[in-house]
């Protein structure tokens, strides 16, 4: 029997509509030509499919299609946003650059910042609050005259907590500092309207909202104009910001996922709220079960600690469930998640964490199965 899939924050399955559409852009009888081929009809057809998808993704987030730069995913988008804006601001003299970010960003942001630090950049990592959100006041207090970029994620991938990117963005805008948001966990699932939000750069990942893996985008604002330096050179695709032959099938896939997200966002959200409430209700009478990140949350992600239980042992005992713990393991030690550590969750509790992440195709019976498995494993391990 297949395990119950509760790891939607790691990746979602592609929607069947997405997979069907992608299949039409691969083979000889489909639209397989290079979208940059300007000298023949098949190339124009591929280009037109790419541009339709660009418009669909732009519409989902309230952007102009010319503000969408295709990338291989959110990791690449984060790298392009951070390295690209630092380089555009100070050239390669990184010692003149200061970045403000949070201590619980995805590694795609943190490792990028660490890399720039090795070349002399200075980075302030603002700790999140105990409720799992980043304080806009603390971000503001970390700004110095050298700050060239602020990068704060929208929805945290381990906790589901939602940051107030409107307030942080307004402060960045007032001080004329570029503001990057990693929105890998929110685009397609929560309303993101860049007509209203003062965000300059925004990272998107296709496989987090029922599109394919290996495709994403960086939104780059045109007004006020935001300058980034390309990090991948060759061919001048994507208005010079990201070269490389565009993967038409992946792009129509993310475009289709964007159209579906727009149609289904309210229904998806209500579905997740119902299932999350059922999950929490089913654990309410289990002693020593704690929710990590109590601030406003996206209902698809629930991070729970179980006192007196080791998370890895718990995870291993839950063979009927496909989910992840809050811990990042390496072969020598099992370290508690840096996200939970940054929140100040005590080590033993951080080590007992599970992330339950649900999505469009999760059913009530999946939640019942999960509850039964979690409750019985926790009780057995405590004995
Ligand atoms: C917040 C966040 N940022 C970035 C990424 C990386 O996205 P991708 O897999 O598209 O590179 C993820 C996915 O793990 C994520 O959750």
Tens-digit pLDDT profile for residues 209-221: 999 999 999 999 9
CATH class of the domain at 4-11+265-382: alpha beta
Token pair in block for residue 302: 């629930």
Q: Mean pLDDT for the chain?
A: 96
Catalytic residue among 112, 113, 289, 329: 329
The number of the ligand 1 atom at minimal distance from the alpha carbon of 108 is 4
When pLDDT is averaged across residues 247-260 and rounded to a whole number, the result is 98
Contact call for residues 184 and 106 (beta carbons, < 8 A): yes
Integer angstrom CA distances of residue 245 from 46, 78, 202: 12, 20, 22
Q: Is 108 in the pocket of ligand 1 (CB under 6 A)?
A: yes
Answer whether 0.95 is exceeded by the pTM: yes
Contact call for residues 147 and 139 (beta carbons, < 8 A): no
The pLDDT, as a whole number, for residue 148 is: 98
The number of the ligand 1 atom at minimal distance from the alpha carbon of 206 is 10
Domain residue limits, the chain: 4-11+265-382, 16-260
Say if residue 62's pLDDT is above 60: yes
Tell me: the pLDDT tens digits for 126-182? Answer: 999 999 999 999 999 999 999 999 999 999 999 999 999 999 999 999 999 999 999
The rounded Å distance from CA 197 to ligand 1 centre is: 21
The pLDDT, as a whole number, for residue 328 is: 57
For residue 82, give the nearest of 127, 123, 50, 112 by alpha carbon: 112
The pLDDT, as a whole number, for residue 268 is: 98
Tokens 């602020």 — which residue? 150
The rounded Å distance from CA 171 to ligand 1 centre is: 26
Say if residue 358's pLDDT is above 60: yes
When pLDDT is averaged across residues 231-251 and rounded to a whole number, the result is 96
112 carries an active-site annotation? no
Integer angstrom CA distances of residue 205 from 48, 58, 71, 103, 169: 22, 13, 9, 21, 21
Domain 16-260: give its CATH architecture. 3-Layer(aba) Sandwich (3.40)
Note the helical H segments in the chain. Answer: 16-23, 41-61, 74-90, 107-118, 136-142, 165-174, 248-283, 311-317, 338-343, 347-350, 364-382
């Amino acid at each position: 029997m297949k395990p119950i899939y509760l790891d939607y924050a790691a990746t979602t399955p592609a929607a069947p509509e997405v997979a069907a559409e992608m299949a039409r852009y691969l083979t000889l009888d489909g639209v397989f030509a290079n979208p940059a081929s300007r000298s023949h009809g098949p190339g124009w057809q591929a280009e037109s499919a790419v541009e339709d998808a660009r418009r669909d993704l732009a519409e989902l987030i309230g952007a102009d299609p010319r503000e969408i730069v295709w990338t291989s995913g959110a990791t690449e988008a984060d790298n392009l946003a951070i390295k690209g804006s630092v380089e555009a601001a100070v050239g390669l003299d990184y010692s003149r650059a200061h970045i403000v970010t949070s201590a619980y960003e995805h590694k795609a942001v943190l490792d990028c910042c660490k890399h720039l630090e090795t070349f002399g950049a200075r980075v302030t990592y603002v700790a999140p609050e105990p409720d799992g959100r980043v304080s806009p006041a603390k971000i503001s207090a970390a700004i110095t005259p050298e700050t060239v970029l602020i990068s704060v994620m929208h929805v945290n991938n381990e906790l589901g907590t939602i940051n107030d990117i409107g307030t942080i963005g307004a402060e960045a805008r007032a001080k004329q500092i570029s503001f990057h948001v990693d929105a890998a966990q929110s685009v397609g699932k929560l309303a993101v309207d860049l007509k209203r939000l003062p965000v300059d750069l925004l990272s998107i990942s296709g496989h987090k909202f029922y599109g394919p893996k290996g495709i994403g985008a960086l939104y780059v604002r045109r007004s006020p104009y935001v300058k980034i330096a390309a990090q991948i050179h060759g061919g001048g695709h994507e208005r010079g910001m990201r070269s490389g032959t565009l993967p038409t099938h992946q792009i129509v896939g993310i475009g289709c996922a964007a159209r579906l997200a727009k149609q289904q966002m309210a229904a998806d959200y209500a579905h997740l709220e119902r299932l999350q409430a059922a999950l929490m209700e089913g654990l309410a009478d289990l002693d020593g079960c704690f929710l990590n990140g109590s601030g406003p949350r996206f209902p698809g992600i629930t991070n729970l600690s179980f006192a007196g239980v080791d998370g890895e042992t718990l995870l291993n005992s839950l063979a009927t469930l496909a989910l992840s713990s809050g811990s990042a393991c390496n072969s020598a030690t099992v370290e508690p998640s840096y996200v939970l550590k940054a929140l100040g969750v005590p080590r033993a509790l951080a080590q007992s964490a599970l992330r339950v992440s649900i999505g469009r195709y999760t059913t009530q019976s999946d939640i019942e199965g999960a509850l039964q498995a979690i409750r019985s494993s926790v009780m057995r391990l405590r004995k």
